[in-house]
Amino acid sequence: MEFKRISSQKISEKVEEQIVRLIKEGSYKQGDKLPSVRELCESLDVGRSAVRDALTTLKGRGLVEIRQGEGAFVTGFNPKRYFKHMLMPNQKEIESLFQVREILEASIVKLAAVNRSENDLMAMRKALNHMSVCKYDESGQHDCQFHMAVANATGNPILHQLLESISSSMEKSMADFHRLIASEPELIHDIHHQHESIMEMIICEDASGAYEAMMLHLSYVKKQMRKGFSIRSEYIQTH
């Protein structure tokens, strides 16, 4: 396991590249402690500031965890780190996140139709039953549980984590949207019917049909979401 000496141009970036290379090559695995700042300085023949800057960047990318008094450790891939800064996104960011969600769920639902198990279907049905009994609670909790169950049915934990991260980032800003739905029986009926259609296609292992049902649902949700933003904007202007 050897580090290569590097030129003085963009030193911290080159330090970062070498650490990433060693992680990719498997020299350092998840949970492993990286050499100390002093050891990295000596191995790479660079200054302490370059090493610290590189480690700070790697921490921001979610590749390294810095523990006070212990050092830097290699972390596993966690999509949540890429969204945690968006604690309360604005309308434009919500629109962008929703666009990502559309792209993601289009793939998720097709995979779910192919890979779903009976346990996955039970989880979907449980979420739908809760929505039916609660008549759609304002938090949107059971709605989210349904979509998470679909994501889990793909058998791909990264897809599940990505959707969970996006949903969590949108949660607070979507409060008006969920309240709007909870207040209108027609919207509750429409969304419940759309979820039922998605599940029916997944039960039938119809990937194409599941995709169409999901995109129809998300298009409807986007329309109502924008309506929720409009209501909030009008309220702010008149108070």
pLDDT value at position 25? 83
Q: Are strands 64-67 and 71-74 parallel, antiparallel or unpaired?
A: antiparallel
Q: Which two tokens stand for residue 213?
A: 């049902």
> Do residues 118 and 125 make contact, with C-beta atoms less than 8 angstroms apart?
no
DSSP symbols for 82-151: GTTT-SS--HHHHHHHHHHHHHHHHHHHHHHHHH--HHHHHHHHHHHHHHHHHTS-TT-HHHHHHHHHHH
Return left, alpha or beta for 156; rule: phi > 0 is left, psi -120 to 50 is alpha, else beta: beta
**pLDDT at residue 79 in the model:** 57
- Give me the pLDDT at residue 139, please: 53
Tell me which DSSP letter residue 63 carries: S
In terms of pTM, does the model score above 0.85?
no
Residues in the chain: 239
Q: What is the pLDDT of residues 88-121, one digit of tens each?
A: 456 677 788 888 889 999 999 999 999 999 999 9
Domains annotated for the chain, with CATH where assigned, are 11-76 (1.10.10.10), 81-238 (1.20.120.530)
- Residue 8 pLDDT: 47
Give the pair of three-digit tokens for residue 24. 């990719």
- The ranges of the chain with pLDDT < 70 are 1-9, 76-91, 133-140, 169, 171-182, 228-239
The answer to whether 44 and 51 have CB atoms below 8 angstroms apart is yes
